[in-house]
Structure formats: C-alpha cells, structure tokens
Amino acid sequence: MADNNLRKSVHVNEISEAAVAGVQGREFYHDPVMLKECLEGLNIKPNGTYSDCTLGGGGHSYAIAQELNSEGTLHAFDRDDEAVQFATKRLAGVAPKFIVHPVPFSELGNEIEPNSLDGVLYDLGISSHQVDDSSRGFTFVGDNPLDLRMDRRENVSAQEWLRSVSEDDFAAALRKNADMDRAFKLATRIKEKVGEITTEGRDVLPSDIKAVVEAVFPDKRREANSLLARVFQAIRMEVNGELKQIEDSLRAAVDCLKVGGRLVVMSYHSVEDRCVKETAAEFEKACICPENLPVCMCGGNHQRLKKVNRKPILPSADEINRNSRARSAKLRIYERV
C-alpha cells in the first residue's frame, strides 16, 4: 500500500466539466464509460473519502480526484501491476491523498475501516487495455497462449485450470458465467482438445478453443466470435474467482460506507449485473426472518441499502457512438441507510 500525499486543491459544489473533460482524449486504458453518471451517482463531497475498487488505467479515479479538495482522500484497488503503475503515474500531482491498494477488491474490508467511506465505485470486468494487449491472453485476436489472470503473480492460469477442471465443473462454469447452451457438450469437447494438446507438449491457444466452438455450434457460424468471447469470459471468471470476489467486495463495501454514502456499480453483462443485483438485495430487506414465519420476529430494521435509481442507468446513444464498448453497460446506484 502506498500513501502519496499529493497536493491538489479543487473546490466544487457540483460535477465539474473539468472532471469529465480532463479524462477524455488522454491515453488512458479506455475512455471511462458513463463517467458523468458515475460522478453524479457518487454525490462527491470535496472533503470526502472515496474508493475506486477497479482502478484500471485511472480514468474514473482521475475524475474523482478532481472533485476533491486537499482534505479529500481517494483509495484505489487493482491487482494488475501494470494498471497500478500506469494509473499511479497518471494521477501524480492530481489526486489529493491517493492510497493505492495493490490487492483484489475483495480485500476492501481488510484494507478500509468500517463506516469510513463516502462512496465506492466499481467498473467491473476487464479493461480495454487488457483485451487489446494480446500478450496477456485475454483476447482471441492473435494466438498467444491463454493466460486470463488479472494478477499474473497468481499460480493458476487458464492453461492449468483447463487441464485440471472436470467436464461437469467446466460445464457449470459455462452456464453460470456466460449463460451458455450446449454447455456440457462444449466442455467435453474442449477437455478432449486440451488433452490432445497436452500430449503434444504445447500450450492451449485461442485458435484451439475457436475450432471447438465452431464444431459444437456449426449452425451459428455468424455468431462464432460472440460465442468464443463468452467461453473466454466463463474461463476468465473462474480463473480469477470473479463472482465470489464481487459478492465479497460488495458486502464489505456496505460495512465500509458511512450512512448516506453511495455505492455505484457498473457491469457489462447479465451475469455480473445479476450478481450485483442479488447481492445488494440482501441489504435492501428490512425484515430478514424466514419467509415461512407468519410474524416478523427480527424487528424489521435491518435495511442497509436503498436504490437511488429504480432501474439501471444505460449509456446514451451518443456515448455508444463514441465508444462501442459502452453499449452493454448498466449502472446501479445504492445509498447506505
């Protein structure tokens, strides 16, 4: 953890255009999606304490930092060493008290004091930089060996996972993480291919997985890339334990938020969004008694979150035109009560 007391005093009472414009047009990992909506959702206080749980290239953090004065504090989490180095350099001289936590965001509760944050932001999934850098093995463009680790210091890459996972567990991951049909057939065929490749003594390549996907879905050739992306997503989420990490981090975020603090979460596919919605729903209930109990016995005062927006916020047509990667984004905002 690094604590850089960087001097920057910015006094604002509303979302400044500079906070948005300062990010656009720079060489960040990607243009932050729904940046203005995220900042508005956080309801930033200039002297507040905030956490960007998905630092990435620092786009959202950069904009949050410009809303803070010299008394404000920004925590940032990322387990990708490249992202930490890149974003720390970007925010030098911009952030006030900028504290980087180079650990998974599931460690939020171990790194941050309870009832200390005014807002927490999540921009889930992988960054455009990770996708565009074929050497990381996140993309099926090119033919570098599959890796798919967010943190390359972790021991289990996609290679090891594919060799060790059972057909049943692989099929379950395809259903859970990517809503795949023909999951068992696909898992069985990929495992057979991995076995052949292991015998050959080489690494599994994207083209190997693509060949299997095309064979299992011969009637969906036009959707081959989309199907392949979902297979990669399912494997990646298992390699990195992503759904469990999201659940653990969101629960910790509720404890870390002050009353009135905001929880802002952006997801890009239905599996992540469902995880966010279902985890948050646990804290929206006032009564936690078993459903079959005829009378409330818990006191009915257990609600800890309320929705700020009844339905998820979607990107505008203009934003989708500017940034096609925004097209599937959904933004949910909650407030600690």
pLDDT above 70: residue 100: yes
What is the percentage of the chain residues whose pLDDT exceeds 90? 64
| Whole-number pLDDT of residue 175 | 96
Q: Is pLDDT at 29 greater than 70 in this prediction? A: no
Would you state the pLDDT for residue 22?
Answer: 46
Most confident of 34-48, 91-105, 312-326: 34-48
Nearest-5° Cα angle at 73, 83 to 154? 30
Average pLDDT for residues 62-84, to the nearest whole number? 91
C-beta separation of 146 from 158 below 8 A: yes
Is 80 a known ligand-binding residue? no
Angle between helices 206-216 and 183-200 (to 10 degrees): 140
Q: Does 59 appear as a known binding residue?
A: yes
Residue 78 is assigned to a ligand binding site: yes
Residue 331 has pLDDT above 60, yes or no: yes
At 151, the pLDDT band (50, 70, 90 cuts) reads: confident
Q: How confident is the model at residue 82 (pLDDT cuts 50, 70, 90)?
A: confident
> Is 60 marked as a binding-site residue?
yes
HSE-up of 67 (CA within 13 Å, CB side)? 28
Exposed (0-12), middle (13-18) or buried (19+): which is 3, by Cβ within 10 Å?
A: exposed
**Long-range contacts formed by 312-317: CB under 8 A, 24+ apart:** 312/273, 313/34, 313/37, 313/41, 315/33, 315/34
Residue 314 has pLDDT above 60, yes or no: yes
What is the residue-averaged pLDDT of the chain? 86
- Does position 129 have pLDDT exceeding 50, yes or no? no
Considering only residues 127 and 100, tell me which one the structure prediction assigns the higher pLDDT: 100
Q: Is 201 annotated as a binding residue?
A: no
State mean pLDDT over 23-30: 47
pLDDT of residue 138: 57
Residue range 221-247, pLDDT digits in tens: 888 888 998 999 999 999 989 999 999
Q: Which residue ranges form the domains of the chain, and what is each CATH number? A: 2-129+243-336 (3.40.50.150), 155-239 (1.10.150)
Q: How far, in Å, CA of 178 to CA of 184, rounded?
A: 13
The predicted pLDDT at position 16 comes to 47
Average pLDDT over residues 60-87: 91
Looking at residues 72-94, what average pLDDT do you find?
A: 88
Q: What percent of the chain stands above pLDDT 70?
A: 85
pTM to 2 decimal places: 0.82
Mean pLDDT of 61-84: 91
Say whether 81 counts as a known binding-site residue. Answer: no
Question: Sorting pLDDT into bands at 50, 70 and 90, what band is 202?
Answer: very high
pLDDT at 130 over 80: no
Structure confidence at residue 147 as a pLDDT band (50, 70, 90):
confident
Given a cut of 70, whether residue 329 has pLDDT beyond it is: yes
Lowest mean pLDDT, pick from 6-10, 156-160, 296-300: 6-10
Is the pLDDT score of 4 beyond 50?
no
Mean pLDDT across 161-175: 97
